[in-house]
């Protein structure tokens, strides 16, 4: 069992991240649904698993392949002290460093993403390069569930086991919705576990809002031979009552009342 | 025949590997046998997955390496265009794409295998260097030069069907972005690239015998293009003819025409593959002829132009 204090701290951190995302979503239309669904995963990655701070060596790599969830990355950067919280509501506005996808100007963004289906291949390449460098640096790629409709994802999935990349972890934020509605009706992607197993990945299927399960999955990914895929069942818009698990959650602006309800829901 | 494992290509890669941390990625072209344990160059075969190939190349480059991609022009330039744009160019990675099976070289294999849009596509990408060597010496020099160019490069390398033996006049030091003047002349300027430089020289010699002196330029770098010599040609000669084994749209001719149009002086006529699919079956040379890209056709076209046609 993971350390209870750690789990409790990470759960609090995830709440803070969600509050930051709400501060963006009340100011303007935003991709809040996928930002909120991945908040617990991102809390575990940024405040437990990944070695990303400048003084840490080796540095790990994180690629937000589902780039439209950039607001959760911005939230992490606030908590890392690289972005001021007052910048969040100004996302996308003139002169802001914070855009609608991870950009080269985005503090903490390792890769410019946005077009879906790119970063798993990039992650395979980074994992190969770090192996050649004889570094024990780890690479984590976060993908959306709708994203894996892209064929390029499966080209990358095919290639990672060939190179035995145990330093590579793919996380699928399985929140069941994409821009056009529920995934099952737009273009079904299930069965996910069987697909990734058939592609010779280690697969862990978890509740993506259960912090203990997230931490354990990340810890055990390190111990696996070959690449690991974490299929994280999540709820789109998690944390905002009335928005959770709806198609609207993908891209919307919250009313003040909705934001207040959300912030009250996300109190400590 | 000139292939990925021709000495000019392999030696250039291995030479780069002595000064740079070089990794080669290839796709199902036998490259595993060319980079043995004695070579300082690491190699990975990524299979028939162009999008993945380029994404992986960008990722490896991110870890401090110079990545050489061995791939086929039509497939890598079109199938993986977005990965080249986003992952290599936007993210500024040192990925050098060696693209073979260029132009109409795939011949009777047909339209799907003709690489005739790649210059146009690659030219639209900010920060991309686009090089089209004319002979085997230039292939070697271009690959070496790409190693010290920052960011991604696209090297369009013919030789699968075309003659790439060394050209007599083409022996000046290779500098990216600086064209080579092969013949001085003032009646008109013929600007050629890649395989068509050889044709341009044949055209020059035939017309010189009739007292017509063409200026001939080898425009081996399409991006960044040598604006200075194009400007000079527009100012000093009445007509510029561009010659390329590529669509007339968007390639060398397009690049030259853009400069001349903005200059407001001079005239450009573009010779290349016309705006159609070259879907007839036949050997490489015949397909070139069908597109008016054999020396006899080019001579005839130029004579008509000089007569005011």
Cβ atoms within 10 A of the Cβ of B245, count?
30
Q: What is the mean pLDDT of residues B169-178?
A: 92
DSSP state of A252: B
Give the strands of the sheet with A202-207, arranged side by side.
A61-64, A139-144, A168-174, A228-233, A202-207
Res. B2: pLDDT tops 90: no
Report pLDDT for B30. Answer: 85
Res. B309: pLDDT tops 80: no
Q: Which residues of A116-152 are buried (b: 16+ CB within 10 A; e: fewer)?
A: bbbbbbbbbbbbbbbbbeeeebbbbbbbbbbbbbbeb
User: Are B56 and A115 in contact (CB < 8 Å)?
Assistant: no
Instruction: Report the share of chain A in percent with pLDDT over 70.
Output: 99
- Give per-residue pLDDT as tens, B81-95: 999 999 999 999 999
Q: Which of B42, B57, B82 sits opposite A125 (nearest CB)?
A: B57
Report pLDDT for B282. Answer: 96
Contact B129, B153 (CB under 8 A): yes
Q: What is the mean pLDDT of residues B155-170?
A: 94
Q: Residue B46: its chain A contacts at CB < 8 A?
A: 159
Report pLDDT for B140. Answer: 97
Res. A1: pLDDT tops 60: no
User: Are B63 and A129 in contact (CB < 8 Å)?
Assistant: yes
Q: Residue A61: its chain B contacts at CB < 8 A?
A: 62
Q: Which of A67-71, A151-155, B125-129, B168-172 has the lowest mean pLDDT?
A: B168-172
What is the residue extent of each domain of chain A? Answer: 4-265
Single out the residue of B109, B255, B276 nearest to residue B192, CA to CA. B255
Q: What is the mean pLDDT of residues B21-42?
A: 87
Report pLDDT for B172. Answer: 87
More confident residue, B232 or B1: B232
Cα–Cα distance, B237 to B20 (Å, whole number): 43
Interface test with A, best of B56, B61, B90, B92 (most A CBs within 10 A): B56
Q: What is the mean pLDDT of residues A191-220?
A: 98
B34 pLDDT band, cuts 50/70/90, is: confident
Contact A221, A228 (CB under 8 A): yes
Longest dimension (CA), chain A: 53
Supply angle C-alpha B79, B84, B85, rounded to 5: 110
Report, at the CATH architecture level, how domain A4-265 is classified. Answer: 3-Layer(aba) Sandwich (3.40)
Report pLDDT for B170. Answer: 85
More confident residue, A2 or B238: B238
Average pLDDT, chain B: 96
Token pair belonging to A131: 């192996």
DSSP calls for chain B = ---TTSHHHHHHHHHHHHHS-EEEEESSSSGGGTS-TTSS-EEEE--S-HHHHHHHHHHHHHTT-EEEEEEEHHHHHHHTHHHIIIIIIITT--EEEEEES-BTTTGGG-GGG-B-SHHHHHHTSTT-EEE--SSHHHHHHHHHHHHTSSS-EEEE---SSS--SPPTT--SPPBTTB-EEEE--SSEEEEE-TTHHHHHHHHHHHHHTTT--EEEEE--EEES--HHHHHHHHHHSS-EEEEEEEESSSSHHHHHHHHHHHHT---EEEEEE-SS-------HHHHHHHTT-SHHHHHHHHHHHHTT-
ipTM: 0.97
Q: Which of B23, B55, B90 sits opposite A156 (nearest CB)?
A: B55
Q: Give residues 197 to 236 of B whose Cβ lies within 8 Å of A.
A: none
Q: Residue A105: its chain B contacts at CB < 8 A?
A: none
Tell me the nearest-neighbour CA distance from A196 into chain B, angstroms.
17
Interface test with A, best of B26, B27, B49, B52 (most A CBs within 10 A): B52
Report residue B157 CA to chain centroid gap: 6
Topology, domain B7-156? Rossmann fold (3.40.50)
What is the residue extent of each domain of chain B? Answer: 7-156, 180-306
Report pLDDT for A2. Answer: 62
DSSP state of A97: S
Res. B37: pLDDT tops 80: no
Q: What is the mean pLDDT of residues B222-251?
A: 98
Nearest CA in chain A to B82: A115
- Give per-residue pLDDT as tens, A72-128: 999 999 999 999 999 999 999 999 999 999 999 899 999 999 999 999 999 999 999
Res. B70: pLDDT tops 90: yes
CATH 3.90.1200.10 fits B180-306, yes or no: no
Report pLDDT for A176. Answer: 97
Q: What is the mean pLDDT of residues B176-188?
A: 96
Neighbouring-strand partners of residue A174: A233
Report pLDDT for B35. Answer: 84
Residues sharing a CB contact under 8 Å with residue B76, sequence separation 6 or more, in sequence order: B50, B53, B54, B69, B84, B97, B99
Average pLDDT, chain A: 96
Q: What is the mean pLDDT of residues B139-163?
A: 97
Tell me the nearest-neighbour CA distance from A267 into chain B, angstroms.
39
Q: Which of A105-109, A222-226, A234-238, B253-257 has the lowest mean pLDDT?
A: A222-226
Q: Residue A124: its chain B contacts at CB < 8 A?
A: 52, 55-56, 59
Residues sharing a CB contact under 8 Å with residue B10, sequence separation 6 or more, in sequence order: B4, B34
Q: Which of A121, A126, A163 sits opposite B63 (nearest CB)?
A: A126
B177 pLDDT band, cuts 50/70/90, is: very high
A246 pLDDT band, cuts 50/70/90, is: very high
Q: What is the mean pLDDT of residues A50-68?
A: 92
Q: Which of B23, B51, B91 sits opposite A121 (nearest CB)?
A: B51
Q: What is the mean pLDDT of residues A67-76?
A: 98
């Amino acid at each position: 069992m993971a350390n209870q204090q750690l789990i409790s701290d990470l759960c609090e951190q995830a709440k803070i991240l969600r509050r930051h995302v709400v501060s963006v979503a009340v100011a303007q239309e935003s991709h809040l649904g996928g930002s909120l669904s991945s908040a617990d995963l991102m809390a575990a990655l940024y405040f437990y698993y990944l070695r990303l701070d400048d003084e840490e060596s080796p540095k790990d790599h994180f690629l937000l392949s589902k780039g439209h969830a950039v607001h959760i990355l911005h939230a992490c950067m606030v908590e890392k002290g690289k972005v001021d919280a007052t910048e969040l509501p100004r996302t996308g506005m003139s002169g802001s460093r914070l855009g609608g996808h991870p950009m080269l100007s985005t503090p903490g963004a390792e890769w410019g993403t946005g077009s879906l289906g790119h970063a798993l291949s990039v992650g395979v390449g980074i994992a190969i390069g770090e192996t050649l460098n004889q570094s024990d640096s780890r690479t984590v790629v976060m993908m959306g569930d709708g994203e894996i409709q892209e064929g390029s994802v499966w080209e990358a999935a095919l290639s990672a086991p060939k190179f035995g990349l145990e330093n590579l972890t793919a996380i699928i934020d399985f929140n069941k919705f994409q821009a056009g509605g529920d995934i099952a009706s737009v273009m079904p992607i299930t069965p996910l576990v069987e697909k990734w197993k058939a592609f010779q990945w280690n697969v862990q299927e978890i509740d993506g809002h259960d912090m203990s399960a997230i931490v354990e999955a990340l810890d055990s990914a390190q111990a696996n031979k070959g690449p690991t895929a974490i299929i994280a069942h999540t709820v789109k818009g998690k944390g905002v009552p009335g928005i959770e698990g709806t198609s609207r959650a993908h891209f919307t602006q919250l009313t003040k009342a909705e934001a207040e309800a959300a912030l009250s829901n996300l109190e400590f | 025949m000139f292939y990925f494992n021709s000495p000019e290509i392999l030696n250039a890669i291995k030479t780069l590997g002595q000064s740079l941390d070089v990794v080669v990625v290839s796709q199902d072209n036998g490259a595993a046998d060319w980079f043995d344990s004695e070579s300082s160059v690491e190699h990975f075969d990524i299979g028939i997955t162009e999008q993945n190939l380029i994404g992986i190349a960008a990722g490896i480059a991110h870890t401090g390496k110079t990545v050489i991609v061995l791939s086929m022009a039509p497939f890598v330039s079109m199938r993986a265009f977005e990965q080249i744009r986003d992952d290599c160019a936007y993210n500024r990675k040192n990925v050098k794409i060696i693209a073979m099976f260029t132009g109409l070289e795939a011949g009777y294999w047909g339209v799907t295998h003709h690489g005739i849009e790649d210059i146009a596509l690659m030219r639209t990408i900010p920060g991309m260097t686009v090089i089209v060597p004319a002979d085997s010496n230039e292939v070697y020099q271009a690959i070496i030069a790409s190693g010290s160019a920052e960011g991604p490069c696209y090297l369009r390398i013919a030789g699968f069907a075309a003659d790439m033996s060394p050209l007599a006049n083409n022996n000046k030091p290779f500098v990216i972005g600086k064209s080579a003047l092969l013949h001085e002349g003032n009646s008109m300027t013929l600007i050629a690239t890649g395989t068509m430089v050889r044709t341009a020289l044949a055209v020059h010699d035939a017309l010189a015998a009739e007292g017509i002196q063409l200026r001939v330029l080898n425009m081996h770098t399409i991006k960044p293009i040598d604006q200075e010599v194009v400007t000079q040609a527009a100012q000093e000669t009445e007509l510029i003819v561009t010659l390329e084994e590529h669509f007339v749209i968007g390639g060398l001719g397009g690049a030259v025409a853009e400069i001349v149009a903005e200059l407001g002086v001079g005239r450009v006529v573009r010779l290349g593959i016309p705006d159609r699919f070259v879907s007839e079956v036949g050997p490489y040379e015949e397909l070139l002829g069908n597109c008016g890209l054999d020396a006899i056709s080019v001579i005839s076209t130029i004579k008509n132009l000089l007569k005011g046609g």
